[in-house]
């Protein structure tokens, strides 16, 4: 893939690197040497007035896959690109390509009237499937370009939708550098009653002393310190995973955790002062059952027509906001509500944060 060149030739590429990735300038993250996908081509609003698509047939323990794919299918910036068929028209991969596979699925799910289905399988975890899928999509977008600098790899379409940066700050560290993060951030929280409370725990400073003292990079001594994580880049899409399952026993934490229809992320950013960063809920994935090895997954999605739908494998039913906000959610999908118009989309940041909030 060739480096992106802006159509106005009287402006040099360095200027547009700064324009398209404005947040890179003074936040400690090196600017990309190449842009693999033009940020201004990412469309946050549905580009086609589509109603809800088809359900997905459960072929035997595939409800986790069905529910996760439906949430991805109704992620507007991802769906807009896949519906354009742009990837398959230029893809030169001779073997399996995850981008081509998902593109075909999204087009079938939104355009066909018959139920789609997948092969028989065993029950798996929806969050793990989501992580593996996003990783495979990113690999397909890089198309072997793994020798690129990290910042350039972060300019693929998928990383601009499903990547991000956390910042780890310590009071006794020589420096506090942003950490590239392409998976999940686990927050071990004893008592959580809401998503906003979980996010407050994310940015709450952690005291390191005694056996947990920090080895200072300046004085090279074990010293008391304070460590704090913040979200270093704002995002187009925010995925919050409520960690309901024990990593050791597989047991599930069944409790109600409140989540809003609209979420302001500003207070949890490295730069906590500034304009609100508002996100709107567009999908909720729900697990019913007592352990991660059994049970059933469904999801609620907001279609391109603005209505909520309950997607239970092949069954698609109309729903409403009140019902959606009163689920024992496992995965929450939010999309950023931008103050910029689509014409000014190049001035918006394009990194997405994936958070995993532990409930106990």
Q: Which residues are catalytic?
A: 63, 296
The CA distance from 163 to 260, in Å, is: 23
Which 3 state secondary structure label does DSSP give 35? Answer: coil
- Strands 329-336 and 237-243, bridge-based pairing: antiparallel
Give the helix/strand (H/E) hosting 264: strand 262-264
- 167: tokens are 């910042």
Q: Angle at Cα 162 formed by Cα 327 and Cα 67, nearest 5°?
A: 35
Phi-psi region of 9 (alpha: psi -120 to 50; beta: other; left: phi over 0): alpha
Q: Angle at Cα 258 formed by Cα 254 and Cα 264, nearest 5°?
A: 140
- 86: tokens are 């742009």
> CA-based Rg of the chain, rounded to a whole angstrom?
21
Query: How far apart, in Å, are the Cα atoms of 291 and each of 190, 239, 294, 297, 314?
Result: 19, 22, 6, 12, 23
8 A C-beta contact, residue 179 and residue 166: yes
Query: How far apart, in Å, are the Cα atoms of 156 and each of 30, 100, 125, 143?
Result: 16, 15, 26, 10
Tell me the helix, strand and coil percentages in the chain, rounded to 5. Answer: 30, 25, 45
The CA distance from 239 to 332, in Å, is: 6
Longest CA span, the chain: 67
Task: Write the DSSP symbol of residue 211.
Answer: G
Helical H segments across 21-95, by residue range: 63-73, 76-83, 86-90
């Amino acid at each position: 893939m060739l480096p992106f060149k802006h159509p106005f030739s009287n402006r040099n590429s360095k200027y547009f690197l700064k324009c398209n990735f404005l947040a890179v300038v003074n936040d400690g993250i090196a600017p990309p040497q190449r842009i693999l996908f033009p940020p201004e081509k990412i469309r946050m609003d549905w580009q086609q007035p589509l109603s809800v698509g088809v359900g997905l047939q459960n072929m035997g323990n595939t409800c986790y896959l069905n529910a996760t794919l439906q949430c991805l299918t109704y992620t507007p910036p991802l769906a807009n690109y896949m519906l354009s068929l742009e990837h398959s028209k230029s893809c030169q991969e001779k073997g399996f390509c995850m981008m081509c596979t998902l593109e075909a699925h999204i087009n079938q799910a939104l355009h066909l009237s018959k139920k789609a289905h997948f092969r028989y399988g065993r029950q798996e975890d929806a969050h793990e499937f989501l992580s593996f899928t996003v990783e495979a999509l990113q690999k397909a977008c890089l198309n072997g370009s793994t020798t690129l600098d990290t910042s350039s790899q972060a300019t693929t379409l998928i990383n601009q939708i499903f990547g991000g940066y956390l910042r780890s700050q310590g009071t006794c560290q020589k420096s506090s550098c942003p950490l590239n993060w392409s998976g999940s951030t686990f927050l071990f929280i004893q008592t959580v009653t809401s998503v906003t409370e979980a996010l407050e725990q994310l940015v709450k400073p952690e005291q390191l002393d005694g056996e947990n003292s920090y080895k200072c990079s300046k004085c090279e001594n074990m010293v008391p310190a304070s460590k704090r994580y913040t979200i270093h880049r704002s995002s187009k899409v925010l995925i919050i995973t409520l960690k309901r399952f024990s990593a050791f026993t597989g047991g599930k934490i069944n409790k109600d955790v409140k989540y809003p229809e609209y979420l302001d992320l500003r207070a949890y950013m490295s730069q906590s002062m500034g304009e609100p960063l508002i996100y709107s809920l567009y999908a909720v994935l729900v697990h019913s059952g007592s352990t991660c090895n059994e049970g059933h997954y469904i999801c609620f999605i907001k279609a391109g027509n603005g209505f909520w739908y309950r997607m239970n494998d092949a069954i698609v039913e109309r729903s409403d906001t009140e019902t959606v906000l009163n689920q024992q959610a496992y995965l929450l999908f939010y999309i950023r509500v931008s103050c910029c118009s689509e014409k000014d989309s190049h001035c918006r940041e394009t990194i997405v944060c994936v958070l995993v909030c532990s409930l106990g």
